[in-house]
């Protein structure tokens, strides 16, 4: 018999089945400064409908832990306490349908400040609600601007932003927090040697490149209840090692396996595995 429709327990949280809704960006938030990041009635209807459809867990889309951490100005964000009540409506609606409410906490890093995909997805100027992205190193994503290389102070601020976002998510009623470290966004850009060319303690070998991701996990775990699960989303490979014509060092399955082991030691309960995103 299949276990797809059987409950699963992670820490003290029982999820009614194993058919879950993955976090998928909708690019439907209001970009105006007064409403930036806040979920709307669209998001309320969207997520409550998925929960009513029988999903055991509904994971709210990548939600920026800082304004500049959004992929686009049309993304959700939870960097301000004033946004918490709007997210509480979403979490409550998901739970009311019998599903578990999860939220993916994210920072887009060097891939931030783009338009909506169906409008071309081009990088936006400050006149178009855009901003200057930053990342591990001043290495541009193909076709994008060269990001600002993060200082140690910038890195510390990002770790704090993840922790504060997790605190707000908990206050809003979410039961699962997922740290987004995939698809070429900020944490993945530190993990991959394609985008991380640092020579300090946040670069170099695997332990250095994984340092920020583990610090973020620790910060989220510190504010998240010990009886509730924390997930980690990773890209298992950059898809560069499979290309015999590309000799660059990249993020690989073997490194993902080691990161997964470390993440478990730091309190991650489930790794959500995807791939790609650092290189075209």
Instruction: Determine whether 82 is exposed, middle or buried from the number of CB atoms within 10 Å of its CB (0-12, 13-18, 19+).
Output: exposed
HSE (CB half, 13 Å, CA atoms) of 208? 12
Q: Which two tokens stand for residue 73?
A: 């100005």
Q: Is 185 marked active-site?
A: yes
What span, in angstroms and rounded, lies between the C-alpha atoms of 218 and 250? 25
CB atoms within 10 A of CB 221: 19
Residues 6+ apart with CB under 8 A from 34: none
Listed residue (185, 207, 182) closest to 134, CA to CA: 185
C-alpha–C-alpha distance, residues 166 and 197, integer Å? 29
Distance CA(68)–CA(93), nearest Å, equals 28
Q: Which ranges in the chain belong to alpha helices (H)? A: 41-52, 84-96, 152-172, 186-191, 206-223, 253-265
Q: Are 55 and 21 in contact (CB under 8 A)?
A: yes
The catalytic residue among 47, 185, 202, 253 is 185
Question: 10 Å Cβ neighbour count for 157?
Answer: 12
Angle of helix 84-96 relative to helix 152-172, nearest 10 degrees? Answer: 50
Which positions are annotated as active-site residues?
A: 185
């Amino acid at each position: 018999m299949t276990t797809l429709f059987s409950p699963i327990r992670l820490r003290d949280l029982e999820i009614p089945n194993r058919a879950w809704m993955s976090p998928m960006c909708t690019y439907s938030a209001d970009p105006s400064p007064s409403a930036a990041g806040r979920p709307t009635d669209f998001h309320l209807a969207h997520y409550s409908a998925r929960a009513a459809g029988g999903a055991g867990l509904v994971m709210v889309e990548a939600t920026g832990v800082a304004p500049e951490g959004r992929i686009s100005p049309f993304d959700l964000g939870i960097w301000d306490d004033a946004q918490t009540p709007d997210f509480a409506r979403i979490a409550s609606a998901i739970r009311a349908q019998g599903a578990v409410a999860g939220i993916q906490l994210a920072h887009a890093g060097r891939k931030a400040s783009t338009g909506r995909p169906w409008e071309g997805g081009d990088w936006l100027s400050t006149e178009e609600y855009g901003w200057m992205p930053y990342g591990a190193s001043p290495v541009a994503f193909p076709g994008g601007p060269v990001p600002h290389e993060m200082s140690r102070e910038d890195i510390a601020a990002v770790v704090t932003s993840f922790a504060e976002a997790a605190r707000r998510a908990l206050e809003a009623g979410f039961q699962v927090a997922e740290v987004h470290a995939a698809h070429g966004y900020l944490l993945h850009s530190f993990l991959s040697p394609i985008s991380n060319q640092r020579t300090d303690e946040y670069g170099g070998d695997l332990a250095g490149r994984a340092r920020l991701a583990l610090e973020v996990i620790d910060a989220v775990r510190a504010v998240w209840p010990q009886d509730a699960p924390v997930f980690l989303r990773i890209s298992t490979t950059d898809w560069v090692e499979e290309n015999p014509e590309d000799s660059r060092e990249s993020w690989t399955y073997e490194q993902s396996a080691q990161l997964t082991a470390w993440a478990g030691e730091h309190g991650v309960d489930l790794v959500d595995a995807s791939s790609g995103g650092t290189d075209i």
